[in-house]
Amino acid sequence: MYVFFSSFHRLTMVGYKLEVTTGDLKSSGTWDHIYVTLFGTEGQSERTELDNFGPDFSSGTVLIGAYPKERFNEPAPKQMIKKFQAELSYLSEAITKRNLQLEIPYSYLDPAQIENSVTI
């Protein structure tokens, strides 16, 4: 079977900003999986998981390695922060994987559960 198109559409990439609002209580976010599908006049997007490092959509919680306000403009500190966040993510994944094998999960010092603080 052959299909011929008399005209074709040029695809254009479009950027979207999605804002998620939760309650205003401390730690009012979720550890659950949250997905979004965008619908338009010409179709829909794939189902995409909304995921951040640590608990998603938490109010008042800033996790270790997270810097909500960009305070560094120079490339060197930005690179160090990115490397630090990657190491924290790796450690959190390793702890999560290890805990799957344990009868009683041990998540103490899992970076995904540690708030950014000067006390640690």
pTM, entire model: 0.50
The two tokens of residue 96 are 């999560």
Domain boundaries, the chain: 1-61, 62-120
Euclidean distance between CA atoms 23 and 112, whole angstroms = 20
Span 98-109, average pLDDT: 86
Q: pLDDT tens for residues 44-69? A: 888 887 765 555 555 666 778 887 77
